[in-house]
Structure 1
């Protein structure tokens, strides 16, 4: 007796795939395709597994699956051909949009994939397809905003951020991130705030940073970015006391020595920002000097560690010179504040 074919049987296998990960899920999607070769959903499902697989999983589990070979035993490495992740993933998303040109999730996944692989033009085309099919599909507006921002098309990017933030779900704080692109919801407000600040619209940026912090999950590696940038924006508005509080909160979240977590914050930037704020306020001289000294020390350490060579080393030296100049100017400004008083 042959296998039962038809859409309903394919859907059953797709639902079954949701209970598994990696190869077991992929095999469920393969069963779905056997039962309905014209069904786009299993191709989309396979593409997502390929897209989000970590290197070890791709090399030792998915590559053997694609090659039709047995996966290696535990603690052993796969010695067969390693599949091209970009090609295989795109093949799945292409098939999904080919079979169902109105499949919004597949167009978004494809656009997001292109964006992560630096193909900005194709990313925008796919995201536009998703938006044309569903103008309320928020993740597509957000990713399009990021692409346009990266390309320097700031006003267009801002319009997309406006759309994304307007379409955020009411329970964004509880949900934390969208299920399609796996992007945190607070990043919509953070991205918009950063862009507004770049455009010199600091008061508006400040409101957006507050919105970002309002829905940001209480995790150090997430909170440190909006806190630090809010501080920098406050400083641009001359509100240095408030800026200092933000810097202190952000610095308190930085990983300590031997902490496994890597921070996205530049500690040199934070030291300089804090020192500049103290300089502007004309207070806590010793603390100001320590912040400038810490920034100089961190930058110099990168040079003497021997990890920089050639042009990178020259850039490091230039950065150190700029930091030293900034420290001297900050110290002079502090002195002038004291004299004026």
Structure 2
């Protein structure tokens, strides 16, 4: 953390110092502090898509689901092909029991990147919750196939 703080001290407008410190804090489970860093990164660079996405994840970790969705929506607005934001939004919707809406997000992620294994896995979970076991199994099989290809 000291390095990020030193970078901010030397260059107060260095947006990546705030973003990277936020990511480090989030990885340490310090989500509230991470949000402050992402907010500063967004203040300095209002179109910083990754900062919105990561802020959404930190908010989700804190159980602030509606705010997390707003961040993912902003990331998607700024970058309509941002696959991770669709997947992450789907995860929050699934946490809220909105499985059909979550599946729509996973489908969009898969449409944008047909090799995005996580989206197949998450979609499979949502389908399973809805009792659509055959469709869920197809997603899980695709997930396993992609994971195997990625490890080869």
TM bin, normalised by shorter chain, reads 0.7 to 0.9
Preserved contact between residue 7 and residue 14 of structure 2 (Cα < 8 Å):
no
| CA apart distance, 1:224 | 0.7
| CA apart distance, 1:127 | 1.9
Q: Indicate the residue corresponding to 1:288 in structure 2.
A: 136
Q: Indicate the residue corresponding to 2:57 in structure 1.
A: 194
1:276 equivalenced with 2:125 (yes/no): yes
Deviations 1:69-90 (A, max 9, x none): xxxxxxxxxxxxxxxxxxxxxx
Query: 1 CA distance for matches of 2:123 and 2:114?
Result: 18
Q: Which secondary structure does the structure 2 equivalent of 1:238 belong to?
A: coil
Greater RCO (CA < 8 Å, at least 6 residues apart) = 2
**Unaligned ranges ≥5, structure 1:** 1-119, 132-136, 173-184, 257-264, 308-341
Return the match for 1:245 from 92, 95, 104.
104
| CA apart distance, 1:298 | 4.1
Return the match for 1:159 from 22, 28, 36.
36
Q: Which runs of 4+ in 1 moved over 6 A?
A: none
Preserved contact between residue 102 and residue 126 of structure 2 (Cα < 8 Å):
yes
Preserved contact between residue 8 and residue 14 of structure 2 (Cα < 8 Å):
no
RMSD: 2.5
Preserved contact between residue 127 and residue 144 of structure 1 (Cα < 8 Å):
no
**Greater helix content:** 2
| CA apart distance, 1:255 | 5.0
Query: 2 CA distance for matches of 1:128 and 1:195?
Result: 25
1:123 equivalenced with 2:4 (yes/no): yes
| CA apart distance, 1:166 | 3.6
Query: 1 CA distance for matches of 2:137 and 2:20?
Result: 41
Normalising to structure 1: TM-score of the pair?
0.40
**Unaligned ranges ≥5, structure 2:** none
Normalising to structure 2: TM-score of the pair?
0.82
Q: Indicate the residue corresponding to 1:19 in structure 2.
A: none
| CA apart distance, 1:227 | 0.7
